[in-house]
Structure 1
Amino acid sequence: MPSFLEISPDKLNRLIGTPSAPVIIDVRTDEDFSRDQRLVPGSIRRRYEDVAAWSGTVAGPAVVVCQAGRKLSHGVAANLRHTGRAAEVLEGGFEGWTSFGGAAVPSEKLPPRDPQGRTVWVTRSRPKIDRIACPWLIRRFVDPSAVFLFVPAADVSLVGERFGAMPFDIEEVFWSHRGELCTFDLMIEEFGLASEPLSRLATIVRGADTARPDLAPEVAGLLAASLGLSRMFNDDLQQLDAGMLLYDAFYRWCRDATGETHNWPNQKRGQ
């Protein structure tokens, strides 16, 4: 049972992937991190010694992760609370997270971060399905502060080189379709995020993105909503913002509501 200063791995796992997820800060020492260079989904590395310097950049309630959930994370969390920020410690630290069976993102799969600590990605403009689904996945499970650049298809690779951005969902790059799998499938696999809800969502995304309505009954609904959004917005970033809510809803259905039905019974008055 965690103390009021701690959050259990189970509770944190329920928050990750949702808009209400906390800022997750990994403060493991370099020695500890070198033994397992994976991250709790959505977390960013920070040096515990420099907490006074970076604490002002923490934008919301935080969960601090060290190796075992003891002195380093409690010290950092206490420093954050001193600055007026809500902060908890992950019970058991990274060891507790992996023992619980929580997903862990391999740090070597992440692109280099820009001076503001953000990963930067670039893809074709006028997104429809995969190019909205992938940014949603990255922001909810990999890097909440990720930057996405939408440019003409012919310029994606050059923009990536000149601006330090990782290309995705174009031909002949790592983050793209492979066989029958779309880029969203690939990212779930490569980032170590496989779970029943995300696998269910990936099937729906794949069906909508590759014209396979037979894969799931929900494919037609996602396709219709995605094409509708693409016609509502001329600005790709505005469309992405709207698409985040769409995929939040589909993910929560995949995670929590697949067994629920809805009906409006036509009952007689008084029954």
Structure 2
Amino acid sequence: MSTSYTSISPDKLSRLIGTANAPTLIDVRIDEDFAADPRLIPGATRRFHLDVQDWASSLTGQSVVVICQKGQKLSEGTAAWLRCSNVDAESLEGGHLAWKEAKLPTVPVGRMPKRDGRGRTVWVTRARPKIDRIACPWLIRRFIDPAAVFLYVSAPEVEATADRFNATPFDIENVFWSHRGELCTFDVMVQEFGLSTPPMVRLAEMVRAADTARLDLSPEAPGLLAASLGLSRMFDDDLEQLNAGMLLYDAFYRWCRDATGETHNWPTNKGKR
């Protein structure tokens, strides 16, 4: 299939997912196709194509990629409707099938919490985060739900808050999203959400080493620990700290993905001997 300005290849899209500049992903597969493979491209949200005129206005000003089963009529038609609503919309070449054929990661919908009335997942954890409780929200916002809401509350109130506000608790004892054996909560999320790509596995090793005081597991872990503890001292507001931490993990993820083989040294004018 030839690339056009109204479509994007799976390879190019995969390079955008997980970054701050990732487009909004809309999955418009019919129920039958989705039921046969209930997994989403990381960060995607399901929408009904026939309702596009109702939800298009909520995407005004955004860059959007529309995904259907084969990248044909449903995604092209939905993207065309979105462009009529001043949305910068493309369709995914080859659709969900091409993404799978390229062996790119997909997220099992059964692992995703139910969304609230505004279509957001809501999570709750202990206040005053350091490592896991910043790393996990970064993972969720970059690969699961860009609009996810995070509630930071006192440790004794996490479970009760989760119950009263229909939120998903994480990084506390005796809940699904928590440490398992030697794995930290970030490790668990990477595995359960089907995101175990080589760069993500490397980042998970860094997070685990820093979060569990086993700095020997990763040469970069002391730097992550230092940066994380420094952020926790810079911000009294947990959400402000999370916003700053998003940039920190963006940088570490891009290093894991694109720059592990690169070195740097201050240039000198010394001649060769």
- Structure 1 and Structure 2 fold alike (TM over 0.5): yes
Q: 1:85-105 CA distances to partner (integer Å, 9 max, x unpaired)? A: 100000011111101111000
> Which residue identity lines up with residue 42 of structure 1 in the other structure?
G
Identity across aligned pairs (percent)? Answer: 65
Equivalence for 1:141: 143
Secondary structure of 2:3's partner? Answer: coil
Q: Distance in 1 between matches of 2:102 and 2:6?
A: 19
Q: 1:147-195 CA distances to partner (integer Å, 9 max, x unpaired)? A: 0000000000010011010000000000000000000000000000110
Equivalence for 1:252: 254
Q: Distance in 1 between matches of 2:5 and 2:204?
A: 36
RMSD: 1.0
Provide TM-score, normalisation by structure 2.
0.97
* 2:16 pairs with 1:15: yes
> Which residue identity lines up with residue 13 of structure 1 in the other structure?
S
Q: Distance in 1 between matches of 2:39 and 2:189?
A: 15
Equivalence for 1:176: 178
Q: 1:100-135 CA distances to partner (integer Å, 9 max, x unpaired)? A: 111000001110101110000000000000000000
Q: Distance in 1 between matches of 2:114 and 2:96?
A: 22
Equivalence for 1:266: 268
Provide TM-score, normalisation by structure 1.
0.98
Following TM superposition, the consecutive aligned residue runs of length 4 or more in structure 1 with deviations greater than 6 angstroms are none
Equivalence for 1:229: 231
Q: Distance in 1 between matches of 2:118 and 2:168?
A: 16
Q: Distance in 2 between matches of 1:126 and 1:262?
A: 34
Equivalence for 1:243: 245
Q: Distance in 1 between matches of 2:203 and 2:136?
A: 12
Match of 1:204 among 191, 203, 206: 206
Stretch of structure 1 that moved more, 52-61 or 41-50: 52-61
> Which residue identity lines up with residue 265 of structure 1 in the other structure?
P
Equivalence for 1:48: 49
Equivalence for 1:167: 169
Q: Distance in 1 between matches of 2:91 and 2:155?
A: 44
Residue correspondences, number: 269
Q: Return the offset for 1:268.
A: 5.2
* 2:48 pairs with 1:26: no
Secondary structure of 2:65's partner? Answer: strand
Q: 1:31-54 CA distances to partner (integer Å, 9 max, x unpaired)? A: 111110000000000000100110
Q: Distance in 2 between matches of 1:90 and 1:121?
A: 30
Match of 1:129 among 112, 128, 131: 131
Secondary structure of 2:123's partner? Answer: strand
Stretch of structure 1 that moved more, 167-176 or 260-269: 260-269
Equivalence for 2:84: 82
For structure 1, which runs of at least 5 residues remain unmatched after alignment? Answer: none
> Which residue identity lines up with residue 140 of structure 1 in the other structure?
R
Q: Distance in 1 between matches of 2:227 and 2:140?
A: 21
Q: Distance in 1 between matches of 2:165 and 2:46?
A: 23
Q: Distance in 2 between matches of 1:124 and 1:151?
A: 5
Q: 1:27-77 CA distances to partner (integer Å, 9 max, x unpaired)? A: 011111111000000000000010011011125100000111000101110
Secondary structure of 2:159's partner? Answer: helix
